[in-house]
C-alpha cells in the first residue's frame, strides 16, 4: 500500500463528490481509476505525436498485417 499526499482542498472536493454519488468508501478505487484513465490518455497522445509523420495508409497496412499474422497463429 502506498500513501500519497494531496492538498486538503482536493481531498475535501473528492470526498464531497464521492459522498454525493453514494461512494464515500471508494476513494482509493476512484483515484486509481482516474489515474489509469489519465495515463491511458497521455499514452495515446504520445503515440499520436510519434505517428504524425507516418502516412495513415502505412499505419493501417501495419495493423492489417499484424491482424493477419495473429489470425494465422
The pLDDT, as a whole number, for residue 17 is 94
The pLDDT, as a whole number, for residue 73 is 74
* 1-60 tens-digit pLDDT: 677 888 999 999 999 999 999 998 888 899 999 999 999 999 999 999 999 999 999 999
Going from N- to C-terminal start, the domains of the chain cover 8-72
Q: 15 and 27 in contact (C-beta within 8 Å)?
A: yes
Give 2's contacts (C-beta < 8 A, 6+ positions apart): none
How far is the first Cα of the chain from the last one, in angstroms, to the nearest whole number?
Answer: 40
Angstrom distance (rounded) from CA 26 to CA 6: 16
Nearest to 14 by CA among 1, 4, 2, 24: 24
Q: 43 φ, ψ to 5°?
A: -65, -40
Please, which pLDDT band fits residue 70 given cuts at 50, 70 and 90?
A: confident
Amino acid at each position: 500500500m502506498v500513501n500519497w499526499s494531496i492538498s486538503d482542498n482536493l481531498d475535501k472536493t473528492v470526498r464531497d463528490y464521492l459522498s454525493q454519488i453514494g461512494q464515500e468508501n471508494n476513494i482509493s478505487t476512484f483515484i486509481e481509476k482516474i489515474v489509469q484513465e489519465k495515463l491511458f490518455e497521455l499514452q495515446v497522445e504520445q503515440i499520436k505525436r510519434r505517428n504524425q509523420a507516418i502516412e495513415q495508409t502505412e499505419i493501417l497496412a501495419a495493423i492489417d498485417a499484424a491482424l493477419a499474422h495473429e489470425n494465422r497463429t
